[in-house]
């Protein structure tokens, strides 16, 4: 009946049962959803006994909540927002912000199962999501609203800024969430070449800048050096 995180009972490395279960559970929950994921599969993948889940987390539900929080924190730490020196152009900040968001979601390197898990949560919020929104998403959202405020130079109200921010996030979100369907709507060769995190970040940023009047409209011939594309 010893619940997790009890005492300072030596928890040095990262490959102990508890961590291994969290990792395996995150992947399983992300792939199959809460109900379809089975404790047996998770424990098999983690290389522990079936009883370990109940031993370390109490029950499946609490394992799930811990997995969601663990996954989000891990992903944010993997792909953090850059720190901008004072005076950085807001257009640059916006591009960085969007690129970071897309990088987190679409992820180079390892497939970001963490984000698939988050998608499920966002789609159908549980207690885990409410906690996450308050602690982590809200401040990140405020950063974006701040950048957009700089860009609009006071011409937009806070409410309007929030709407634009949601538009920006919505696009990033969509590429991740509905990637499968997008792949059915556009030619596959276009996907490979245009639907990379970098290309999409350029597009979303440009789209927002143009809408705010901070860049010429799409389709206007602009020399490459004037584009808001910033090397990272």
Partner DNA sequence: AATCGCTTCAAACAGACGTTTGCCACGATT
Partner DNA sequence: AATCGTGGCAAACGTCTGTTTGAAGCGATT
Which residues sit at the interface with a second copy, rule CB under 8 A? Answer: 32-36, 119-120, 122-125, 129-130, 133-134, 137-138, 141, 152, 155-156, 159-160, 162-164, 166-167, 169-171, 173-175, 177-178, 180-182, 184-186, 190, 194, 203-204, 207-208, 210-214, 216-220
Note every long-range contact of 156-161, with CB atoms under 8 Å and residues 24 or more positions apart, other chains counting. 156/212
Q: Phi first, then psi: what are they for 112, rounded to 5°?
A: -80, 80
Rounded to whole angstroms, how far apart are CA atoms 190 and 195? Answer: 7
Query: Are 21 and 42 a contacting pair, CB within 8 Å?
Result: yes
| 19 vs 119 by CB, closer to a second copy | 119
Which of the listed partners (a second copy, DNA, none) does 82 bind, with a CB threshold of 5 to 8 Å by partner kind? none
Rounded to whole angstroms, how far apart are CA atoms 206 and 224? Answer: 13
Least CB distance from residue 76 to a second copy, whole Å?
Answer: 16
Rounded to whole angstroms, how far apart are CA atoms 164 and 213? Answer: 13
Which of the listed partners (a second copy, DNA, none) does 22 bind, with a CB threshold of 5 to 8 Å by partner kind? none
Least CB distance from residue 39 to DNA, whole Å?
Answer: 4
Q: Which residues have C-beta within 8 Å of that of residue 149, sequence separation ≥ 6?
A: 156, 158, 161
| 20 vs 116 by CB, closer to DNA | 20
Q: Is 139 exposed, middle or buried (0-12, 13-18, 19+ CB in 10 A)?
A: exposed
Helix 197-212 crosses helix 158-177 at what angle (to 10 degrees)? 160
Contact characters 41-60, DNA, x per CB under 7 A: x------xxxxxxxx---xx
Which token pair is 20? 């291994």
Which of the listed partners (DNA, a second copy, none) does 143 bind, with a CB threshold of 5 to 8 Å by partner kind? none
Contact characters 21-40, DNA, x per CB under 7 A: ----------------xxxx
| 41 vs 150 by CB, closer to DNA | 41
Which of the listed partners (a second copy, DNA, none) does 133 bind, with a CB threshold of 5 to 8 Å by partner kind? a second copy
DSSP letter (8 states) at residue 102: H
Give the end-to-end CA distance of the chain in Å, rounded to a whole number.
50
| 3 vs 108 by CB, closer to DNA | 3
Contact characters 2-21, DNA, x per CB under 7 A: x---xx-x------xx----
Interface residues toward DNA, by CB under 7 A: 2, 6-7, 9, 16-17, 37-41, 48-55, 59-61
């Amino acid at each position: 009946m010893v619940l997790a995180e009890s005492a300072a009972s030596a928890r040095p490395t990262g490959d102990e049962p508890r961590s291994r279960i969290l990792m395996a559970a995150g992947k399983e929950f992300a792939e199959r959803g809460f109900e379809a994921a089975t404790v047996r599969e998770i424990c098999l993948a983690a290389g522990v006994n079936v009883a370990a889940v109940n031993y370390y987390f109490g029950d499946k539900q609490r394992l799930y909540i811990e997995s969601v929080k663990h996954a989000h924190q891990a992903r944010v730490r993997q792909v953090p927002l850059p720190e901008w020196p004072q005076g950085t152009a807001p257009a640059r900040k916006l591009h960085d912000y969007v690129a970071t968001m897309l990088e987190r979601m679409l992820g180079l390197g390892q497939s970001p199962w963490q984000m698939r898990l988050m998608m499920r949560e966002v789609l159908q919020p549980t207690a885990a999501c409410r906690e996450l929104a308050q602690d982590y998403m809200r401040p990140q959202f405020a950063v974006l609203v701040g950048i957009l405020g700089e860009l609009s130079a006071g011409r937009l109200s806070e409410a309007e800024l929030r709407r634009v921010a949601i538009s920006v996030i919505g696009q990033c979100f969509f590429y991740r969430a509905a990637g499968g369907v997008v792949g059915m709507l556009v030619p596959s060769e276009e996907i490979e070449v245009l639907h990379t995190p970098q290309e999409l970040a350029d597009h979303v940023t440009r789209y927002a800048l143009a809408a705010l009047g901070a860049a010429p409209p799409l389709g206007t011939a602009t020399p490459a050096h004037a584009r808001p594309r910033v090397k990272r």
